[in-house]
């Protein structure tokens, strides 16, 4: 699967008189995994809606690969860009989980194997016959993600994909996204969950009041206590541990902390 570059150039967007994005220029390379961070109302969801073609910029350009997004039909866009809504109830409509996940791929003429694989990958195989609305909201979001993965798009856009999920569900989502990233898919996720960001993104873009106010590597930004505090966020646990112990390698994931500590082969001080 080849990813596509996602590009915004000088983008303005407003809901009536309410400005939501101001002169946003952002280039996400094909295959990059980027997290979009920012306080409520910063314009994160709006930016994702522009990328998938659900909204048109008032000024500026939005491109996915060689496509100008405004003007593309939704069914065309679905071939390139898979999207999980912040409120994914808006995107489920079939009577069973399996039928919902199968709908998009069938529209695109994809084989049914991808549907079974996506259900398995996200731990939904036991829920295939369930009605999507009988599931708790976080799981409905996982169903929406399965439907998107089964379409095998080159770009994934996910609006707060881990909100409310338990640890197992969250780990499955993280693994699924990492696999897509390794396969070259472009991944753009909106999230306040910094432990998720540490696992699923290599770069972080921060929006505030409709503007890009920071754009840095995940490793740099997730260890910047002051920058995170300004967003009302705290260091992810692994970054906090790494900073407190002055661990080498700037760890931001627990597995990285564990590897450093294992490698150090430190001797515990004798109990007095």
Ligand X SMILES: Nc1ncnc2c1ncn2[C@@H]1O[C@H](COP(=O)(O)OP(=O)(O)O)[C@@H](O)[C@H]1O
Q: Which residues are near ligand X by CB under 6 A?
A: 15, 18, 20, 38, 40-46
Pick the closer one to Mg ion by CB: 86 or 96.
Answer: 86
Q: Which is nearer to Mg ion, 33 or 207 (CB)?
A: 207
Give, in order, the Cα–Cα distances in Å from 264 to each of 241, 247, 249, 257, 259.
15, 10, 12, 11, 9
Q: Answer yes or no: are the C-beta atoms of 157 and 51 closer than 8 Å.
A: yes
Find which of Mg ion, ligand X, none residue 192 binds, CB within 5 to 8 Å per kind: none
Q: Is 88 in the site for Mg ion (CB under 5 A)?
A: no
Minimum CB separation of residue 78 from ligand X in Å reads: 21
CA distance 216 to 203: 6
Least distance from C-beta 3 to ligand X, angstroms?
23
| Minimum distance of ligand X from residue 231's CB (angstroms) | 11
**Of the residues 21, 38, 42, 45, which one makes contact with Mg ion according to CB under 5 A:** 45
Q: Where does this chain touch Mg ion (CB under 5 A) — which range of 82-90, 193-201, 217-225, 232-240? A: 82-90
Nearer to Mg ion, 49 or 219 (CB): 49
Which is nearer to ligand X, 85 or 103 (by Cβ)?
Answer: 85
Task: Check residue 189 for interaction with Mg ion (CB under 5 A).
Answer: no
Rule CB under 5 A: say whether 46 interacts with Mg ion: no
Q: What is the 3-state secondary structure (H, E, C) of 154-206?
A: CEEEEECCCCCCCHHHHHHHHHHHHHHHHCCCEEEEECCCHHHHHHHCCEEEE
Beta-strand pair 81-84/186-190: unpaired
CB 75 within 8 A of CB 107: yes
In this structure, the chain runs to a length of 272
How far is the C-alpha of 52 from the C-alpha of 77, rounded, in Å? 7
Question: Segment contacting Mg ion (CB under 5 A): 24-32, 81-89, 106-114, 253-261?
Answer: 81-89
CA 227 to CA 42: how far, in whole Å?
Answer: 16
Taking the complex as a whole, the smallest distance from the CB of residue 227 to Mg ion amounts, in Å, to 20
Q: Which residues bind Mg ion (CB under 5 A)?
A: 44-45, 86
């Amino acid at each position: 699967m080849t990813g596509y570059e996602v590009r915004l150039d000088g983008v303005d967007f407003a809901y009536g008189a309410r400005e939501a994005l101001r002169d946003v220029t952002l280039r996400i390379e094909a295959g990059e995994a980027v997290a979009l961070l920012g306080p409520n109302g910063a314009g994160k969801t709006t930016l994702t809606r522009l990328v998938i073609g659900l909204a048109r910029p008032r000024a500026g350009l939005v491109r996915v690969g060689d496509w100008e997004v405004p003007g593309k039909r939704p069914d065309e866009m679905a071939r390139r860009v898979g999207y999980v809504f912040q409120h994914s109830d808006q995107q489920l409509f079939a009577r069973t989980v399996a039928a919902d996940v199968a709908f998009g791929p069938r529209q695109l003429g994809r084989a049914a194997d991808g549907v079974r694989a996506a259900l398995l990958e996200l731990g939904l195989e036991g829920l295939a016959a369930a009605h999507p609305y009988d599931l708790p909201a976080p799981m409905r979001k996982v169903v929406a993600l399965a439907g998107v993965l089964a379409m095998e798009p080159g770009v994934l856009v996910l609006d707060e994909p881990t909100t409310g999920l338990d640890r197992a569900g969250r780990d499955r989502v993280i693994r699924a996204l990492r696999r897509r990233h390794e396969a070259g898919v472009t991944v753009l996720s909106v999230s306040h969950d910094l432990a998720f960001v540490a696992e699923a993104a290599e770069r972080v873009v921060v929006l505030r009041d409709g503007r890009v106010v920071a754009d840095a590597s995940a490793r740099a930004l997730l260890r910047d206590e002051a920058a995170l505090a300004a967003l009302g966020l705290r260091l992810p646990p692994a970054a906090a541990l790494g900073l407190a112990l002055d661990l080498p390698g700037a760890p931001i994931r627990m597995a990285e902390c564990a590897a450093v500590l294992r490698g150090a082969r430190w001797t515990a001080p004798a109990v007095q």
